[in-house]
Amino acid sequence: MAVDASMIFGGVAAVAVAVAAFLLLRRRGGDDEAAVARAVENMAQSQAALGGRLAQLAETQAAAQAALAERLQAQERALAKTVEERLAALAKRVDDGLQQSSQRQTTSLHELRERLVVIDAAQKNISQLSAQVVSLQDVLSNKQARGAFGEVQLGDLVRNILPPSAYEFQAAIGGKYRVDCLLKLPNPPGAIAVDAKFPLESWHLLRQAKDEAETIAAGRAFATAIMKHVRDIAEKYIVPGETAESALMFLPSEAIYAELHASFPEVVEKSYRAKVWIVSPTTLMATLNTIRAVLKDAQMREQAGLIQKEVALLLDDIGRLDDRVAGLSKHFDQASEDIRQIRISTDKVAKRADRIEAVQLGDDTVEVVAGTLPQPGRVSD
């Protein structure tokens, strides 16, 4: 493009020099008509040379434009192919991930059904379990021993169902309390505290009551003991911003749990209002299996989040690609506009050359075409 521009400027300079020579000779008079003719002839030759150079420039520019268009089309096809391949690979990865997630969910549901079958079988043996719990009176006569028994049973249930990362025993809560077990769930609901309680004395008094008065008194003592545990758990182990809005009270005896729900529904209702859910070994097992399913679902959501992140990055790449193609298109449009302006300039130069050739020279007068040559006796700018 630099060489072509120098050719144009050289041709225009030659024409300008020829016109200046013609004007100079014209001012000197009519005796140098031969010199004027030679100047006109030189102008014609310069105009012809300029026309040839402009034609050569137009051909060169057309070839360059065709090559540029071909390169742009090739790049566009390559980019389209690359984007299509990446989208196909991403679609395959998404499909594989969804299939794996579906398989894992099916496996989880199958395991949950198996656990529910185990729970149904355990419920059929509630009466046998109650008898076995009663036989532990001598062993559990000490409060510390009862507390240790409840914590051991709670620990066995949690370890058998949940992964180690999903719980913590004797976890610190609120900066001054420690709970028997803290179940680590994602928000919501957040971490859930589980505390084991074993109100054995009041339950034995209830079971050993001989008349209605003793039964009523023992029932009140049993309800009072349960509600005290409920209030303690609600005050100590439900910490806003640190734990969930509810907690679990674990009763390690199916007999006590059954008696509570059968004879003291008002106590159960009060515990619900205090957001403390009372569970037995059987119901805690079902709860832990549900928590396990929730944890697996959270892991699946994390994988889905990674897929969404990759899709967002791909969209960003496509946006940048579109911006770059738009910038390239602007450059192409600017090149076309420059060629159009050059053609306009060459057309004007050709028209002026034609007007110079149309000037007729006489012995005494010169017919001047309006707007092309200066009047005799006037100095042009």
Average pLDDT over all residues of the chain: 79
Positions of E strands within 174-222: 177-183, 192-196
Is the pLDDT reported for residue 336 higher than 70? yes
Is the pLDDT reported for residue 28 higher than 70? no
How high is the pLDDT of residue 269?
92
Of the pLDDT bands very low, low, confident and very high (cuts 50, 70, 90), residue 249 is: very high
Over residues 263-281, mean pLDDT: 91
Between residues 137 and 2, the one the model is more confident about: 137
Domain ranges of the chain: 2-88+327-367, 125-279
Let me know: does 301 contact 186? Beta carbons within 8 Å: no
DSSP, residue by residue, 70-99: HHHHHHHHHHHHHHHHHHHHHHHHHHHHHH
Q: Which of 19-33, 274-288, 346-360 has the lowest mean pLDDT?
A: 19-33
Q: What does the alpha-carbon distance between residue 278 and residue 287 come to, in Å, rounded to a whole number?
A: 11
Most confident residue range from 172-176, 204-208, 268-272: 268-272
Over residues 341-349, mean pLDDT: 86
Q: In the CATH hierarchy, which top-level class contains the domain 125-279?
A: alpha beta
Q: Which of 350, 365, 124 is nearest to 254 (CA)?
A: 124
Over residues 320-342, mean pLDDT: 83
Coil, strand or helix at 360? strand
Q: Which of 166, 153, 141 is nearest to 290 (CA)?
A: 166
Give how far the C-alpha of residue 74 lies from the chain's centroid of Cα atoms, to the nearest Å.
32
Q: What does the alpha-carbon distance between residue 280 and residue 367 come to, in Å, rounded to a whole number?
A: 122
Over residues 47-55, mean pLDDT: 80
| Residue with token string 């041709």 | 11
Between residues 131 and 4, the one the model is more confident about: 131
CA dist 300 to 65, 109, 111, 165, 306, Å? 53, 14, 17, 16, 10
103-134 pLDDT, tens digit per residue, is 888 888 888 888 888 887 777 777 676 666 66
364: DSSP letter: S
Over residues 186-208, mean pLDDT: 83
Q: Which of 4-18, 156-170, 315-329 has the lowest mean pLDDT?
A: 4-18
Q: Output the six-digit token pair for 33.
A: 């008509």
Positions of E strands within the chain: 167-173, 177-183, 192-196, 247-250, 276-279, 360-361, 366-367
Q: Is the pTM of this model over 0.85?
A: no
Is the pLDDT reported for residue 47 higher than 70? yes
